[in-house]
Structure 1
């Protein structure tokens, strides 16, 4: 089956078209019987897409009725088949062109969260949005066998984002930036300078009894892998250490960005590069400790998929400590 339409630049009329169609559906089904959402690429501002409005209609009940199917037929929809039990697909064409795709899904179905999560993450993340757009345009350009090939090509990207592994695709998207992240020797002046900045930040945030000053030499003695972010002039902008633990786990320690380069995406690029390298090495999860007052750092970690966990290794719970983990 060929592609039903071609990708075009984002059109601000797409949300308007959704609202218009949603009103038609609600007037037919009645309010309260279905929850109607705008999903798919046309629901993401500034994302190029095929001009086909994807609609999610969540229904509560064991099965959609024959009368509902007839109502959809009267609105111009044709059944496209059941994608999975409880997930019914309908399509609407006008003058031979695909205009709307309707997913009628039972309320308990996992696909609902899948569709909404992917939409919301693309709305919130410019890098993911750009990478997805590039992927779709490439798949369209290289397509040979039709729509199934196109959909299969998108699936790994979508699954990674929904599963919270967006660092995989973000790392690819940031690969062309002038910031380079690489593993380097820990015992060097650039690292000591950055670690001294880290110690100074910790001194401002936390009492002395909870601080543990660290040098590049001390990290080198732990066999830590030191990730360093440098610009085109080879200036060290930030660093982070990764220490292998048993059972395929690694600990992220002492991630710091030079304050002179804050707000330039250095921390995100550094973190994404570290996680991608860890995954390629077979590390299955990364853990870390972050103080409760380091709000910006915690926000960054959570934005790429880290979630709360308890203390690990030799750490103990203290009034200022929180612990996070990400599955790779």
Structure 2
């Protein structure tokens, strides 16, 4: 099995990034609607594809050593994504870890998370933060195994205010 991490370019890779991010948000929307009865489009102020298109450039804007966003391939096939971005001096944030449903169960999520932690460390960040929905139990176990601990909500987190009281915020130093 060959895993490749390709630094994403918002223009060159736009179609792949739109597809991955829309699928990520549509999955989140199903879970949020099921668990909280809230429509994500109401929180985003529009459609999921519209929101993704608006934030795509920002998601991919950072370059090392400030940050990076990857398209992840397994044996040449687009299989997931994830990134690191700067929150503050010495503090990074893990963003959009996602493995395509048909690629899950083979440890790819753990490989992505470990790569992002290694990148954050290599970029000189002392602390890494993330935010995660309460329905992401497998991810929480992985984050805990990698040294993340719960913390209060933090400035710069993407999750809408209406969901923060239900969300999980984590940090590792």
User: Shared fold (TM-score greater than 0.5)?
Assistant: yes
- For 1:17-96, what aligned pairs fall within 5 Å after superposition? none
Q: Deviations over 1:119-147 (max 9, x none)?
A: xxxxxxxxxxxxxxxxxxxxxxxxxxxxx
In structure 2, C-alpha distance between the alignment counterparts of 1:293 and 1:232, rounded to whole Å: 29
Task: State the distance in 2 between where 1:292 and 1:326 align.
Answer: 18
Report the CA distance between 1:186 and its aligned residue.
3.7
What is the aligned partner in structure 1 of residue 20 from structure 2?
A: 194
Q: Distance in 1 between the 2:124 and 2:143 partners?
A: 20
1:281-300 matches, within 5 Å, as: 281-300=123-142
Q: CA deviation at 1:314?
A: 4.3
Mapped to 1, the partners of 2:71 and 2:135 lie a distance apart of: 24
The CA deviation string for residues 87-118 of structure 1, in whole angstroms up to 9 with x for no partner, is xxxxxxxxxxxxxxxxxxxxxxxxxxxxxxxx
TM-score, scaled to structure 2: 0.76
Superposed, 1:1-328 pairs within 5 Å as: 178-187=2-11, 188-206=14-32, 207-208=38-39, 212=44, 213=48, 214-215=51-52, 218-222=55-59, 223-224=61-62, 225-233=68-76, 235-315=77-157, 318-327=164-173
Contact 1:307 1:326 in 2 (8 A): yes
Higher mean C-alpha deviation, range 267-276 or range 181-190: 181-190
Q: Larger relative CO (CA 8 A, sep 6+): 1 or 2?
A: 2
Deviation at residue 273 of structure 1 after TM alignment: 0.9
Q: Determine the C-alpha separation between the residues in 1 that align with 2:87 and 2:135.
A: 26
Provide Cα deviations, 1:207-244, integer angstroms capped at 9, x if missing partner: 225854442662323524212221232x2111013221
Aligned positions, number: 150
Q: Distance in 2 between matches of 1:211 and 1:264?
A: 33
Instruction: Could you tell me which runs of 5 or more consecutive residues in structure 2 were left unpaired when the two chains were aligned.
Output: 33-37, 63-67
Q: What's the secondary structure of 1:319's corresponding residue?
A: helix
- 8 Å contact 2:129–2:170 — kept in the other structure? yes
User: Cα deviation per residue 1:38-76 (whole Å; 9 max; x = unaligned)?
Assistant: xxxxxxxxxxxxxxxxxxxxxxxxxxxxxxxxxxxxxxx
Provide the C-alpha distance between the structure 2 equivalents of 1:282 and 1:269, rounded to a whole number of angstroms.
Answer: 20
- Closer, same or farther in 2 for the Cα pair 1:318/1:229, shift >3 Å? same
Equivalent in the alignment of 2:65: none
Highest Rg: 1 or 2?
A: 1
C-alpha contact 1:251 1:287 (8 A) present in aligned 2: yes
Higher deviation after alignment, 310-319 or 247-256: 310-319
Segments of structure 1 that go 5 or more residues without pairing to the other structure are 1-176
Q: How far apart are residue 312 of structure 1 and its match?
A: 0.6
Per the alignment, do residues 182 and 275 of structure 1 end up closer, same or farther by CA in structure 2, a change over 3 Å counting?
farther
TM-score, normalized by length of structure 1?
A: 0.42
Change (3 A) 1:326 1:239: same
- C-alpha separation in 2, matches of 1:293 and 1:211: 18
